[in-house]
């Protein structure tokens, strides 16, 4: 398969590229490359990326930011940024994919455990993650037969916890999360939110 990974240079993206590269042609994208450049908060940038990418069998989006901050510190701009970036950015990755991805191909988005298990500071992030989950379930109904659409919902990643000075044993290794993305690409599933968490969601 010919697979585009948006966010390929990130912690999870690099593991996904490693996991898929043995059996597939993988093209990496992010704001700085490595192969294609894209800013998912800009719909025109997404369309331009697809034009450059050529025909694809699958797209994985493991990029997108949302603001984590205490409730009283979250400004209008923080909610607007979060919605435009990780939520609408990923929705537009699907909306713009229909001509680039071969019939029966797939787009896999990324949400996160904070949709189901919020914590102080996660008001904007939880909304965005829940929105991604709802979008794939709804969009899959109308894209059936044309495009498979799924999301992977990671829990805290072990390597991220380690970088934060927390116990990595409480998280799920990035390599395990990468397997959930692989499942969405190779298995004939759509409208699914695949959990990759160390705690039940
Ligand atoms: N790590 C965790 O514990 C965890 C847990 C749950 C969910 N998640 C979710 O998983 C996703 C990836 O997390 P990560 O830890 O791998 O993040 P990361 O290491 O910060 O990597 C983010 C990747 O996305 C790219 N990127 C960022 N903004 C972009 C944009 N606007 N347009 C295009 N590319 C963009 C970055 O490259 P450039 O800077 O070059 O653009 C980079 O390749 C995020 O959605 C995150 O919320 C992570």
Closest ligand 1 atom, CA of 66?
47
Closest ligand 1 atom, CA of 30?
34
**What is the spatial distance between Cα 70 and Cα 61, in angstroms, rounded to a whole number?**
27
Provide the pLDDT for residue 145.
Answer: 94
Tens of pLDDT, residues 155-173: 999 999 999 999 999 999 9
Ligand 1 centroid to 195 CA: how many Å? 17
Provide the pLDDT for residue 200.
Answer: 44
**What is the spatial distance between Cα 65 and Cα 81, in angstroms, rounded to a whole number?**
8
Provide the pLDDT for residue 198.
Answer: 77
- Cα 75–78–79 angle (5° rounding)? 95
Q: What are phi and psi of 62, to 5 degrees?
A: -125, 40
CATH class of 2-196: alpha beta
- How many residues comprise the chain? 201
Which residues does a 6 A CB cutoff place in the pocket of ligand 1? 6-13, 30-32, 38-41, 62-65, 85-86, 110, 112, 154, 156-157, 160
For residue 161, what are its two tokens? 């916890």
The stretches in the chain having pLDDT less than 70 are: 199-201
Query: Hey, which of 5, 6, 7 would you mutate to test ligand 1's pocket, going by the most ligand atoms within 8 Å of its Cβ?
Result: 7
Tens of pLDDT, residues 80-107: 999 999 999 999 999 999 889 999 999 9
């Amino acid at each position: 398969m010919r697979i585009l990974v948006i966010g390929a240079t990130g912690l999870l993206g690099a593991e996904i590229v490693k996991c898929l590269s043995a059996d597939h042609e993988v093209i990496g994208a992010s704001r700085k490359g490595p192969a294609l450049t894209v800013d998912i908060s800009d719909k025109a940038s997404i369309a331009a990326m697809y034009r450059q990418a050529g025909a694809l069998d699958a797209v994985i989006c493991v990029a997108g930011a949302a603001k984590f901050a205490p409730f009283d510190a979250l400004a209008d701009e923080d909610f607007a940024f979060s919605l435009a970036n990780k939520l609408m950015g990923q929705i537009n990755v699907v909306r713009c994919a229909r001509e680039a991805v071969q019939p029966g191909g797939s787009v896999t988005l990324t949400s996160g455990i904070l949709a189901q298990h919020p914590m102080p500071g996660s008001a904007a992030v939880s909304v965005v993650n829940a929105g991604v989950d709802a979008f794939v379930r709804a969009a899959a109904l109308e894209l059936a037969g044309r495009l498979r659409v799924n999301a992977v919902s990671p829990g805290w990643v072990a390597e991220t916890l380690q970088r934060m000075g927390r116990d990595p044993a409480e998280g799920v290794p990035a390599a395990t999360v990468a397997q959930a993305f692989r499942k969405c690409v190779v298995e004939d599933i759509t409208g699914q939110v695949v959990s990759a968490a160390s705690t039940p969601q």
